[in-house]
């Protein structure tokens, strides 16, 4: 589909056609954000929106990684504290903090992050699968990394966050039954 769109634009624009002019780029788009001292990426396709942190209602007996719930346009969403999930220091959030409202299939939840850094385009050749056998349990939510310009940054795997935080209680309940 992308190639067909390029052909159509090239035929209409002629020599004026460049990917920069049209906004068409190769690769994948990611949001770079900071949690604690760690920069991470998340695929833009997983993000529904980015909001200022609203008041978060505490939920007794929720998973330790869940700060509570928020109300967003009539919907109640759980909010994951990514610092806690990753085993980073659990400090106060500043005015730069944001909630990434993410979606995976029918599940929607928030992830509170310390700062939005930038949006980046990454070529397919810059994304590398990360072997899971040497990662601590907290970092199992990272399945790939991006290697660009001498830096390596982890990609947050939204389906794995969902499974680690929200489905682990269900698996524990099933195991006890």
CA gap 19, 1 in Å, rounded: 15
Say if pTM beats, i.e. exceeds, 0.85: no
CA distance 83 to 45: 22
Pairwise CA distance, residues 138 & 16, whole Å = 49
Q: What are phi and psi of 110, to 5 degrees?
A: -105, 150
- In angstroms, how far is CA 33 from the centroid of its own chain? 8
- Residue 160: its pLDDT value, please? 84
* Domain boundary assignment for the chain: 26-166
Q: Which of 89, 74, 82 is nearest to 160 (CA)?
A: 82
CATH 2.40.50.180 fits 26-166, yes or no: yes
119, two tokens: 């949006």
How far is 44 from 151, CA to CA, in rounded Å? 20
Give me the sign of the Cα torsion angle 65, 77, 145, 91: negative
pLDDT at 172: 43
pLDDT at 174: 41
Instruction: Give backbone dihedrals phi and psi of 26, rounded to 5 degrees, phi first.
Output: -85, 155
Q: What is the pLDDT along the chain (177 residues), one digit of tens a residue?
A: 456 656 666 666 666 655 554 455 568 899 999 998 889 999 999 999 999 999 999 998 888 889 999 999 999 999 999 888 888 877 777 899 999 999 988 899 999 999 999 999 999 889 998 776 566 665 678 888 899 888 889 999 998 888 888 775 554 444 334
User: Is residue 141 within 8 Å of residue 159, measured between CB atoms?
Assistant: no
- What are residue 14's phi and psi, to 5 degrees? 65, -130
Distance of CA 123 to the CA centre of its chain: 18
User: Which of 63, 61, 58, 59 minimizes the C-alpha distance to 169?
Assistant: 63
């Amino acid at each position: 589909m992308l190639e067909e769109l390029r052909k159509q634009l090239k035929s209409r624009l002629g020599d004026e056609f460049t990917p920069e002019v049209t906004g068409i780029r190769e690769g994948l788009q990611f949001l770079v954000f900071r949690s604690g001292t760690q920069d991470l990426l998340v695929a833009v396709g997983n993000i529904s929106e980015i909001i200022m942190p609203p008041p978060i209602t505490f939920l007794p007996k929720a998973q330790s990684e869940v700060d509570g719930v928020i109300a967003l346009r009539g919907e109640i969403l759980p909010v994951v504290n990514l610092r806690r999930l990753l085993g980073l220091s659990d400090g106060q959030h500043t005015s730069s903090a944001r909630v990434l409202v993410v979606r995976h299939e029918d599940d929607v939840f928030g992830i509170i992050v310390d700062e939005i850094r930038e949006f980046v385009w990454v070529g397919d050749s810059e994304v590398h699968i990360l072997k899971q056998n040497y990662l601590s349990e907290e970092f199992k939510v990272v399945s790939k990394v991006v290697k660009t310009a001498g830096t390596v940054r982890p990609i947050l795997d939204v389906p794995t966050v969902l499974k680690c935080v929200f489905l682990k209680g269900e698996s524990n309940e099933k195991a006890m039954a």
